[in-house]
Structure 1
């Protein structure tokens, strides 16, 4: 009987440690700290590969013909949020090519575009 109680106590202790670690990991991700530079760099690479044909990736050069909004303008719209960008990237639009964007790619692109926001 003593061994069975010891096994249950150890199992409970391990469970509590794992749950605590997961809780701390979740807090770390939700604390609002700036996005990692790797994600922003990955988003920039994706924007160059997928978006540059129609969008200006950085600021709009003087005298450039504006076909689609440049990413700096998109980032600085009052309504632009990371969530809005992720939803937009996963929604089909008649004026855009139908690119299938995965969840991590949407995060990277949204992080890159939001990094262009001026304070």
Structure 2
């Protein structure tokens, strides 16, 4: 009986984690612009709960693992966020856009 309880607990945890992760989708990508510092990607939280993006990672074209941010940044439900290397350049290109994180696309230890 205890094995069954453990199995149900593990299954519940896997499903819970999967549901949280599936809330965030990559919505749009600007890749290979003329100026390499103008690369960016947009994520969207299609879930009903906010998600903390602290220490979230992504892999670039060279398969280098990078961190979006080490700060606690909450992406609200049904909200967008643009992750870029130089937010000033992006704001000049797209004035009036809110929800931008400027990051140095820092490399993370694997």
Q: Which has the higher contact order (CA 8 A, sep 6+)?
A: 1
Higher fraction of helix: 1
* TM-score (norm: length of structure 1): 0.27
The structure that has the greater radius of gyration is 1
Higher fraction of strand: 2
